[in-house]
Structure 1
């Protein structure tokens, strides 16, 4: 981003922080789709890209960015992929060496591969066909980054001898949740990209199999088959305003907590991050702990990184005046961060989230002592390092608030899909049929995050007492029962 800012300055642009992030995304999209600066304007126009500046201006920025990068002597991530592919393509001895070392490939989430990644995969493979891909075209929600499901859908045509395994059994969700997901996909204007010829399968949580239909008509929608017992029907709620919608969600969350559903097994999912404020306010007012999730990783959060650093220092120290037992040692170290185990902050928000993150580390120490009463601080630090390397994160107690994009790959016992109105889902700048269908797939991803409890809601006005001019998302047409709740 700093280099994009330098490039913008060279062409006399002064973007805001938000514009700078958007401009950086455009450069990344161009590189991921193998476009040169000269090719960008036509391609961006054809793809109906939404950007803060005209395509010609972004092409100039792209050129200036490449110049600034060369002068600084640095590479970005897309360069690493492109140069790796180029080295294999242009130097036979490199290709021979790599192909002798790596003979078999498995690509997960294949519906999210972009042209640059596919080029690298092709370079690795050469003329071989020892390749397995796994994916679900119904979960293609990252086309704005250059991802394309066409590689997944065209796979059997490219490799006609490849067996295609259709994975349709869903072990995650109840039949009621799965049924809603099936009806949502069945209503797509194209019959669902997952039903296109040659789609491969996709796995669900904990080995659950969900996937796209192979060798089927392009108009045949994917139908998952639920494997779990029956559960409650999805709830649909119409509210007069956003604050009332948020209050209704908080009230329903309290009911779930009272029914012994853990807070960590409840999520509120929305289309854009700006929607979180109303839910933070309502959930905090109800005295319920919550955690706002973006793309940050647990061990990268500042308080967690600082805690691990202090634990590492304590493990190296020669101090023998320590409390007895691993858990007590960890609590003593965290006291330096102001953490008090029996005194969580009131309400919610950043302070409560910080407390919960450290509490999660203390619970890990408790769990280690149960399995190994003689566990030491050294071993605990090593375990945390291993968890960080493999992203084996601990459970943090609190209701999760996250965008639909950030929720992909996750699952909860109870999921609330909120703000389901025209202009938000589908988002207002989704104009082309392809963009609209991607918004539908985003809702499909949200629905399939729920194991048992699923609630969908929308508000007819932004503010209390405001004009009720909004209408529910078009994706709900034909799905909402007559017994919809009003709140």
Structure 2
């Protein structure tokens, strides 16, 4: 890898973060500021400059999708040695299983379906209060609190479970005894057991620190106290730690996440070098300003600016009731460029899953497909195919497929079930809950199909697999077109060209369950996260009545200033120059810029200026014509045709219509 090339396309702040001389670095990365780019470039740059060893590097994140994206980007950057990248639980489960094997201990079965286990210690009449009891056990385990210590800690924290502290303590104790009796552990025990092993066996702890001597943590604002403790143990004696996060995107307080880690980072990590990324490269200034104003209304000021040119004004829609709101949103979507819908670049976001059904109905009545609900298999399937397509040989493809099938065993299936059981309008709804089943199913499907491809083809590479998928449609999916429907939580980490943030009204935003200053502040951050998922177009909507009750716009948007400064008309010479711009060329350049940003490459690396101009001049309508007009080659033309040819067709229809 060329160290200089790794930082050539970074802005000044990103470059400072990647090349920081300190081994202890905290990056405060605002929404859209390129945190994943910085994290992967930091790993690659340190390896390229021989400041770190890839084989001893560990990158921890919170979702398998994020971990897969880290691995994909590192591979694209030219990393030859494998970096350990995964979720806290998946990496530590592998460590724990190896520990059991090394110490000749019988492995304990991991059964993360906590709800079922708690239900087993309750009689029928008590099970109606299971959610509250689960909440208390979740709260305690996220903080490493044992059942014997729960009552005292809960009182000090002023917990008030509906069943009472003593009853919750008794259920917690019975739950722990049941696990010991059955010889099982639940999912959160994985981290606490690794921590216990490290605290009581210095040799084991030193071995882990030697193995994972370069530690990086993504989404650090989401760390709960148990994960904090694990990070502290792993970095002890070395302080070779690189953390990236954004306090303004801390939305998992129900899981014990503490955003003050990054707010007070210099106190928490004495001697840390702090680098801030205040420039948003994703959103227009109008969208960034809206997000900043939302945070200000929630009394959480932040400094974030956009480096993009002006975009459309942020729109607001108000319906008489929830059905009218859905019709207004659907009516707005149907007027968008059809290519945005075909490419999955439009999303409708809601605070709760219960709100989404009305939007699905309204969109369907206008003939607009819904590409993704909370448990559909759209984007995760595409992500998994893209991961496989980056591999260069049949042996690598086969190894990847078996890794996927081996890694996603019953543990993760139950994990997804557990997450979904916690989902709804309560505060435990998370992005992991909405995506876990999708990701698991997608990776298994792709791995299975990939093995079929290798059996049929005997030889092949990732690019060939991608082309084969496009030609054969082995997943039997009728279409990937349509609008995404997701909750605010599930949207984190994703982006769309146009986003409709709905139900921005009292009782929903902030949610009625947010009864304290802390939880209301988190609701403000949640709205900020949802709004900044849009790159170019943002619409806020609400209902004046919902469920028969009057509603008002959310206090987070009461004072929202969406006005635009009056613009001076451009000089006549510039107006004449603009009139001569080829609309297809402009559309192709916009596509290239957006696609390159998502792929974390330079626009010219994705598609040269010469090829862009050749496409605009020749207006190809088939893959063969696209390949002939450019330097792509057949495989690359096949891969890019689904994005380029619709732009050409749209330009032709516009000319015909004119």
TM over 0.5: yes
Q: Is the 8 A contact 1:273 1:403 kept in 2?
A: yes
Q: Deviations over 1:425-454 (max 9, x none)?
A: 111111110111000110010111110100
Normalising to structure 2: TM-score of the pair? 0.54
Between the aligned partners of 2:327 and 2:157, the Cα distance in structure 1 is: 39
1:186-197 counterparts in 2 under 5 A?
186-189=296-299, 192=300
1:286 aligns with 2:426: no
Task: Measure, in 1, the Cα distance between the counterparts of 2:343 and 2:132.
Answer: 34
| Aligned-partner SS, 2:373 | strand
Q: How far 1:132 sits from its partner (Å)? A: 1.7
Matched residue, 2:482: 398
* Higher fraction of helix: 2
Judged with a 3 Å threshold, the aligned counterparts in structure 2 of structure 1 residues 225 and 138 are, in CA distance, closer, same or farther, namely same
Kept in 2, the 8 Å contact 1:8–1:61? The answer is: no
The alpha-carbon deviation at position 272 of structure 1 amounts to: 0.8
Separation (CA, whole Å) in 1 of partners of 2:226 and 2:364: 44
1:259 Cα deviation from its structure 2 partner? 7.0
Q: 2:279 aligns with which of 151, 163, 169?
A: 169
Q: Classify 1:179/1:13 alpha carbon distance in 2 versus 1 (closer, same or farther; 3 Å).
A: same
Match of 1:373 in 2: none
Q: Mind listing any 5+ residue stretches in structure 1 that lack a counterpart?
A: 193-220, 320-324, 340-353, 357-395
Partners of 1:327 and 1:412 lie apart in 2 by: 23
Structure 2: gaps spanning 5 or more residues: 1-111, 375-433, 459-463, 565-658
Conservation of the 8 A alpha-carbon contact between 2:317 and 2:541: yes
Are 1:231 and 2:314 matched, yes or no? no
Aligned to 1:103: 213
User: Which string of whole-angstrom CA distances, capped at 9 and with x for unpartnered residues, describes residues 383-418 of structure 1?
Assistant: xxxxxxxxxxxxx43211001011111111111010
When residues 295 and 51 of structure 1 are mapped into structure 2, their CA distance, relative to the original with a 3 A threshold, is: farther
Q: Secondary structure at the match of 2:540?
A: strand
TM-score by length of 1: 0.72
Q: Do residues 256 (structure 1) and 366 (structure 2) align? A: no
Distance 2:502 2:159 in 1: 26
Aligned-partner Cα distance in 1 for 2:349–2:201? 48
8 Å Cα contact 1:238/1:457 also seen in 2: yes
CA distance in 2, matches of 1:222, 1:328: 45
- Which runs of structure 2 are paired with 1:347-358 in the superposition (5 Å)? 355-356=478-479
Task: Note the C-alpha offset of 1:4.
Answer: 4.0
Aligned CA RMSD, in angstroms, stands at 3.1
Q: What do residues 60-86 of structure 1 show as CA deviations (whole Å, max 9, x unaligned)?
A: 222122112112212223222112112
Residues 1:316 and 2:455 are matched in the alignment: yes
Structure 1 residue 155 displacement after superposition = 2.1
Q: What displacement does 1:309 show?
A: 3.1
Aligned residues: 388
SS in 2 for 1:179: helix
> In the alignment, is residue 436 of structure 1 matched against residue 520 of structure 2?
yes
Report the Cα offset of residue 27 of structure 1.
2.1
Picking from 61, 81, 85, the partner of 2:191 is: 81
2:350 to 257, 270, 276: 270
CA distance in 2: counterparts of 1:256 and 1:229, whole angstroms: 20
Q: Cα 1:292–1:15, aligned 2, differ >3 Å: closer, same or farther?
A: farther
- Map Cα deviations across residues 94-139 of structure 1 (whole Å, 9 max, x no partner): 1222222222222111111111011111111223322221111111
Aligned partners of 1:307 and 1:334 also within 8 Å: no
Distance 1:274 1:182, change over 3 A: same
In the TM superposition, 1:336-351 aligns within 5 A as 339=476
CA distance in 1, matches of 2:164, 2:266: 39
1:475 maps to which of 556, 560, 563:
556
How far apart are the structure 1 equivalents of 2:275 and 2:524? 25
Alpha-carbon spacing, 1:333–1:174, altered in 2? closer, same or farther (3 Å): closer
